[in-house]
Amino acid sequence: MKVSLIIPTLNEIEGMRQIMPRIKREWVDEIIVIDGNSTDGTFEYAQEHGYIALRQKSRGSIKAYPEALETATGDVILTFSPDGNSVPERIPELLDKIREGYDMVIASRYCRGAKSFDDDFMSAFGNWLFTSTINLLFGTRYTDSLVMFRAWRRDLLWRVKNDVSEAGFEPAFCILCGKHGLRAAEIPGEEPRRIWGNSKVNKFSSAWAILVLILKEFFSHQDFKEAPAYAGVKKTKIGPPPNVEPNVL
């Protein structure tokens, strides 16, 4: 199993300095920093410390992933934020669960005693609303469908049908696992506060995009098809995962 850790960044120099040294190189096979043209030295930090540093050509964190995936060679992808929200020490736990045979493992901010210290009312309510809606419509039992800190088998990419370039892969993969009986699991993953700087995500436009995605998925019954956003990404073949119960959350 080859693991690529993908880290999107936009002006996160302080987070990089504090968080990156906590990621042990032996945990993963490659670390890719995809930088949205930071002006605070984030990209240079990534280069100097021997990470694979890419400059993003498109704009927005969601569009950073397809670009990073063109370079990533892992058959398991781990997505991580260096702003303080993701706890590096959870990385081996996420990968242990993947090794058990799950297709996706989420570091949930809300399961089994975990908590987010970064939530405001809107983000907590939004996550609860979308997660409950996904659970209701697709028969799943997630507690956190939106958090980016998670690990997933790369072959999920070719099974997402609708374009996720606005909503992000997170809710799309949650729906995919529910609709097609793939194996998803959650581990508790507390979310500390952002270390420094501000959030760059527009919560209103992404909420709208997630709603549209959920409805499209609910009303479409087509089989898996290549998602246009990931059409350029190189395919890898992985063997079938061992038999585990679907959707143990």
Q: Does 85 bind Mg ion (CB under 5 A)?
A: yes
Task: Tell me which of Mg ion, ligand GTP, none is bound by residue 144, counting a contact when its beta carbon lies within the kind-specific cut-off of 5 to 8 angstroms.
Answer: none
Stretch that binds ligand GTP, among 29-37, 100-108, 127-135, 207-215 (CB under 6 A): 29-37
Closest distance to Mg ion from the beta carbon of 97 (Å): 22
Compare residues 99 and 194 and give the one whose CB is closer to ligand GTP: 194
Q: Does 115 bind ligand GTP (CB under 6 A)?
A: no
Closest distance to ligand GTP from the beta carbon of 4 (Å): 15
Closest distance to ligand GTP from the beta carbon of 57 (Å): 10
Task: Tell me which of ligand GTP, Mg ion, none is bound by residue 34, counting a contact when its beta carbon lies within the kind-specific cut-off of 5 to 8 angstroms.
Answer: ligand GTP
Q: Which of 4, 56, 127, 145 binds ligand GTP (CB under 6 A)?
A: 56
Of 40, 92, 91, 35, nearest to 60 (Cα)? 35
Compare residues 7 and 182 and give the one whose CB is closer to ligand GTP: 7
Task: Tell me which of Mg ion, ligand GTP, none is bound by residue 56, counting a contact when its beta carbon lies within the kind-specific cut-off of 5 to 8 angstroms.
Answer: ligand GTP
Residues near ligand GTP (CB under 6 A) are 8-10, 12, 34-36, 56, 59-61, 64, 81-83, 85, 118, 194, 199-201
Residues near Mg ion (CB under 5 A) are 81, 83, 85
